[in-house]
């Protein structure tokens, strides 16, 4: 099978790497038997619809389903209509009522944009004043959602959907704040690990993700792609923090390498609306650490040479997925975006996978490089 993957981040490099075990990777969608769309922006803009209309087999939802990520207010409506547990919330198009609603919540307060913000449009704060200020600032660019903060460990459950069935991949956990110790602003994700002990992904898919897919179907939406359930494992059970409509980044980098079998065939069945295969995962543990450049998650510095990538990649149990790396005419690798490199360690235990990832991180350097020191700890 020939597969084209749209997108060029760490997630897409991991996708190409795992798909290439059983399929030929091609550049152009028109040359492919299957097109896998990585990022949310083209999905929300309707690329999957366009490619399907030209006769291609596509893994990724159409613009109707991608609205789940494009509009958090609509996502909440879908969840509420299906009785799926999520945080108490209210949507606002202007500042009227914002302060009053925030005052009615016990805190922490969660302020989310109802427009795309590349995983960086969320503030979680204990400060009522900071919450009001942030809500007002975000409202200058579009609508917002205000939510009651939930407590508990987070979980990412990626489910592959064929329009009717939502099939869980192995669970993973992301680390979304920029700083070690879970401090600082939210990011797209600074590192992840898989598996997550003591979590039954199939049970959560049955209780939460399948009813979401059913609710989409009731609205006439034939959702073929990934439903990414961002969950909080609260004392009252799992609740939805967010849905994304594509593979997670960096969760994909620790989930898909553990996929046992033919990923291309699996995604192709889902894209065709007839998912028969059941996924299984090899037993080892994966940890990925994101190396980010100066300024991330704000405006970033780029163009700096990256040292040590090749040396790091030779270490035992280490895999590097480049995320924002550009090579100049002399072949020198340079930083080209906020999240630059995913450094992955794999081993029989999570502790050893973590040790390997951080040993490889020590080999790599570039100006302004920063990373979390507590991924999977
Ligand atoms: N890692 C979070 C995301 O993919 O949105």
Output the domain CATH number for residue 166.
3.30.470.20
Residues 104 and 200 in one domain: no
256, 258, 261, 265 alpha-carbon torsion, rounded to 10°: -10
Domain presence at residue 193: yes
Domain presence at residue 377: no
pLDDT, one tens digit for every residue, the chain (377 residues)? 999 999 999 999 999 999 999 999 999 999 999 999 999 999 999 999 999 999 999 999 999 999 999 998 899 999 999 999 999 999 999 999 999 999 999 989 999 998 877 655 789 999 999 999 999 999 999 999 999 999 999 999 999 999 999 999 999 999 999 999 999 999 999 999 999 999 999 999 999 999 999 999 999 999 999 999 999 999 999 999 999 999 999 999 999 999 999 999 999 999 999 999 999 999 999 999 999 999 999 999 999 999 999 999 999 999 999 999 999 988 999 999 999 999 999 999 999 999 999 999 999 999 999 999 999 99
d(CA 68, CA 322): 28
Taking the centre of ligand 1 as the mean of its atom positions, its distance from the CA of residue 331, in whole angstroms, is 30
Of ligand 1's listed atoms, the one at least distance from the Cα of 251 is 1
- List the alpha helices (DSSP H) in 98-209: 98-104, 128-139, 201-204
Domain presence at residue 68: no
Taking the centre of ligand 1 as the mean of its atom positions, its distance from the CA of residue 330, in whole angstroms, is 33
Residues 166 and 138 in one domain: no
Q: Is 188 in the pocket of ligand 1 (CB under 6 A)?
A: yes
d(CA 236, CA 119): 26
Contacts of 220 (CB under 8 A, 6+ apart): 64
- For a mutational test of ligand 1's pocket, the pick from 14, 70, 228, i.e. the residue with the most ligand atoms closer than 8 A to its C-beta, is 228
Residue 65 near residue 216, CB atoms below 8 Å: yes
Output the domain CATH number for residue 22.
3.40.50.20
Domain presence at residue 74: no
Of ligand 1's listed atoms, the one at least distance from the Cα of 119 is 5
Domain presence at residue 220: yes
Q: 3-class SS at 249?
A: coil
Of ligand 1's listed atoms, the one at least distance from the Cα of 11 is 4
Domain presence at residue 253: yes
Residues 277 and 168 in one domain: yes
Q: Which of these, 257, 258, 253, lies nearest to 288 by C-alpha position? A: 253
- Class of residue 37 by CB neighbours under 10 A (exposed 0-12, middle 13-18, buried 19+): buried
Residues 265 and 189 in one domain: yes
Q: Check residue 72 and give its pLDDT.
A: 87
- For a mutational test of ligand 1's pocket, the pick from 178, 244, 252, i.e. the residue with the most ligand atoms closer than 8 A to its C-beta, is 244
Q: Check residue 349 and give its pLDDT.
A: 98
Residues 198 and 250 in one domain: yes
Q: Is 39 in the pocket of ligand 1 (CB under 6 A)?
A: no
Residues 325 and 273 in one domain: no
| pTM above threshold 0.85 | yes
Q: Is 342 in the pocket of ligand 1 (CB under 6 A)?
A: no
The parent domain of residue 122 ranges over 88-148
Q: Taking every pair of C-alpha atoms in the chain, what is the biggest distance, in angstroms? A: 59
Residues 274 and 158 in one domain: yes
| Number of folded domains that form the chain | 4
Output the domain CATH number for residue 109.
3.30.1490.20
Q: Is 119 in the pocket of ligand 1 (CB under 6 A)?
A: yes
Domain presence at residue 83: no
Residues 115 and 183 in one domain: no
Output the domain CATH number for residue 340.
3.90.600.10
Q: Check residue 116 and give its pLDDT.
A: 76
Residues 197 and 300 in one domain: no
Domain presence at residue 259: yes
Residue 33 near residue 4, CB atoms below 8 Å: no
pLDDT in tens, 114-172: 887 765 578 999 999 999 999 999 999 999 999 999 999 999 999 999 999 999 999 99
- For a mutational test of ligand 1's pocket, the pick from 174, 253, 289, i.e. the residue with the most ligand atoms closer than 8 A to its C-beta, is 174
With tokens 């205000």, the residue in question is 146
> Which tokens in the block code for residue 339?
């999240």
Q: Is 238 in the pocket of ligand 1 (CB under 6 A)?
A: no
């Amino acid at each position: 099978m020939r597969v084209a993957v749209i997108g060029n981040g760490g997630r897409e490099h991991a996708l190409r790497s795992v798909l290439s075990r059983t399929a030929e990777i091609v550049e152009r969608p028109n040359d492919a038997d299957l097109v896998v769309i990585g990022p949310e922006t083209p999905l929300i803009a309707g690329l999957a619809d366009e490619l399907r209309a030209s006769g291609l087999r596509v893994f990724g939802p159409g613009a109707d389903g991608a609205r789940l990520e494009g509009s958090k207010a609509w996502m909440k409506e879908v969840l509420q209509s299906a009785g799926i547990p999520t945080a108490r919330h209210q949507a606002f198009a202007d500042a009227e009522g914002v302060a009053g609603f925030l005052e009615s919540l016990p805190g922490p307060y969660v302020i989310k944009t109802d427009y795309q913000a590349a995983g960086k449009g969320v503030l979680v704060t204990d400060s009522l004043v900071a919450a009001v200020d942030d809500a007002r600032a975000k409202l200058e660019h579009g609508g917002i959602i205000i939510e009651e903060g939930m407590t508990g460990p987070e979980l990412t459950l990626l489910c592959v959907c064929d329009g009717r069935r939502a099939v869980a991949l192995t669970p993973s956990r992301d680390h979304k704040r920029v700083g070690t110790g879970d401090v600082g602003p939210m990011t797209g994700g600074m590192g992840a690990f898989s598996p997550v002990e003591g979590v039954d992904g199939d049970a959560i898919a049955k209780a939460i993700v399948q009813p979401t897919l059913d609710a989409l179907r009731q609205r006439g939406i034939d959702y073929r792609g990934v439903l990414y359930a961002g969950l909080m494992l609260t004392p009252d059970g799992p609740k939805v923090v967010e849905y994304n409509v594509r593979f997670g980044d960096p969760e994909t980098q620790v989930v898909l390498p553990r996929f046992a079998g033919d990923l291309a065939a699996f995604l192709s069945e889902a894209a065709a609306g007839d998912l028969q295969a059941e996924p299984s995962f090899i037993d080892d543990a994966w940890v990925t650490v994101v190396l980010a450049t100066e300024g991330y998650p704000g405006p970033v510095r780029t163009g700096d040479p990256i040292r040590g990538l090749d040396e790091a990649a030779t270490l035992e149990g280490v895999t590097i997925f480049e995320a924002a790396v550009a090579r100049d005419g002399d072949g020198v690798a340079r930083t080209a975006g906020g999240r630059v490199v995913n450094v992955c360690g794999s081993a029989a235990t999570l502790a050893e996978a973590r040790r390997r990832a951080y040993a490889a991180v020590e080999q790599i350097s570039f100006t302004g490089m920063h990373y979390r020191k507590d991924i999977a700890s």
